[in-house]
Amino acid sequence: METATERQDAKRAKTEHQAAEGAEPMAVDDAVQQKDAAPPEQQQQTGPSMRFLMTQYYKKLFPVQQMFKWLCYGNDSSHAAADGSFSSRRELCFTLEGDIFVRYQSYKSWTDLATDLARKVPSKIDIGPVYTHDPRQRAKYAKDFKPVQRELVIDIDMTDYDELRTCGSGGHICSRCWPFIAVAIQVLDTALREDFGFQHILWVYSGRRGVHCWVADEGARLLADDVRASVVGYLSVIRGVEGGMAKLGMGMVKHPALERAERLLRSAWRQHLLPEQCLLDEPQHYNALLQYIPDEELRSSLAAKWAKGGQGIVPGGNRRASAAAAAAGDSVSLSVRRWDELEKAVKEQASRLPSGKAAKALEKSLDDIIFAYSYPRLDVEVTKKMNHLLKAPFCVHPKTGKVCVPIDPEAAWDFDPDDVPTVQQLVQEINEQQQDAGASPQQQQAAGAEGWRGTSLEPYIAAFASSFLSPLAASSKAALNERAQAAAAEQRTQRADVSW
């Protein structure tokens, strides 16, 4: 049972969080209270209460050992260079029932964390930075208490595409608008690896309408705030939206990184975004896109021609079926055919212009459209600050019940947010397993630590361990070895100086 001291600490933590963030309650990423309702089937869980489901999830399914191992970076080992205080200086923030934030939690071992999760049953866990001292004792250190490292994080939210997508808005996400996210993962993952040399990158579905990226390389974790701001500035092209048009931060000559991105974007634009979103099918959508064409006469001519040509998919059929057929090469969607027509008309008009500068500007408008509609739209504030909280992987989203599972960036196009396991589904799966096996209560308790085995969650945890955690552990061990060797060399030097 929660003590009076714990209740007071929770209340104080909530106030401290709001003051620190300068926001209303729940102003932590991906947990802002939403005005838009979830779909009817997601508004509430049927059957057992959400608290009961979450209690079972934390006791039997949440991969607490793997998560703790990640966040320790080898410092939970007996290695001579391991920092025994590392894990106890990492902040975790719990959101409890009633939207109560309990900030500045820290743990010395995964068993301590597992015990607290089962006792407090948070609806959400946010990960913060590693501080100079144990965050639970922050008052003792005053000005000396500050963040010293934290993963470089990136947040992409589907609501930033609301003025573009035709399938929904707000909390809605589906396979038709997922291509916006898939191409964003492709572009950013490539840039992080090729331009910055980062290797340990984890992409995670947020559980509702977006994705988070965690860059765990030591060089990324130690970046100062101003450098983080520079990194996200480098990765950002869209500087805002004005008058229904994206403000693009690129000139007539593209940076090599943008040329590389353009190749990815063009492929996604024609194969996925145009046929899935039907961006040139209806007047309200193609008129918005045509705003990027600087030639008014050309804009008017195309809009008039398309208005006479009717709406919908050609050849017949619904949008979804036609998009699938276009992807299979069986037919071409109306939007793709109209894009081909637009490209041809722009190039022909550019060839007739007397000014080379005007011709280049007209042709560049085609690139502007592709970048405006398909280049990643980032929540830059999430990346800028080392002490920004972000929802932990393998949390359960409180609105949808979906688990925040990892995404393979190389298979981002195959990911379907509708196929993500829910907490209700997972608890049902482990109950059925135990019934089929006829396990005793003692056996059930013994198997509880890794109850996720054999469930729909297992492939995601296995991928997390093999593709992210294992390579990261090897890198962390190598870094600890280097520190141990450097410390030994320093000691030898000091002994030699004393002898001399």
Active-site residue (options: 76, 151, 157, 429)? 157
What are the CB-based long-range contacts (under 8 Å, 24+) for 235-243? 235/154, 235/188, 235/191, 235/376, 235/378, 236/378, 236/380, 237/371, 237/375, 238/371, 238/372, 238/375, 238/377, 241/163, 243/291
157 catalytic residue (yes or no): yes
CA distance 90 to 201: 19
Reduce the secondary structure of the chain to three states and give it as a string: CCCHHHHHHHHHHHHHHHHHHCCCCCCCCCCCCCCCCCCHHHCCCCCCCHHHHHHHHHHHCCCHHHHHHHHHCCCCCCCCCCCCCCHHHEEEEEEECCCEEEEEECCCCHHHHHHHHHHHCCCEEEEEEEECCCHHHHHHHHHHCCEEECCEEEEEEHHHHCCCCCCCCCCCCCCCCHHHHHHHHHHHHHHHHHCCCCCCEEEEECCCCEEEEEECCHHHHCCCHHHHHHHHHHHCCEEEEECCEEEECCCCCCCHHHHHHHHHHHHHHHHHHHHHHCCCCCHHHHHHHHCCCCCHHHHHHHHHHHHHCCCCCCCCCCHHHHHHHHHCCCCCCHHHHHHHHHHHHHHHHHHHCCCHHHHHHHHHHHHHHHHHHHCCCCCHHHHHCCCCCEECCCCECCCCCEECCEECHHHHHHCCHHHCCEHHHHHHHHHHHHHHHCCCHHHHHHHHHHCCCCCCCHHHHHHHHHHHHHHHHHHHHHHHHHHHHHHHHHHHHHHHHHHC
Active-site residue (options: 91, 134, 151, 217)? 91
Active-site residue (options: 29, 155, 217, 379)? 155
91 catalytic residue (yes or no): yes
348 catalytic residue (yes or no): no
Q: What are the catalytic residues?
A: 91, 155, 157
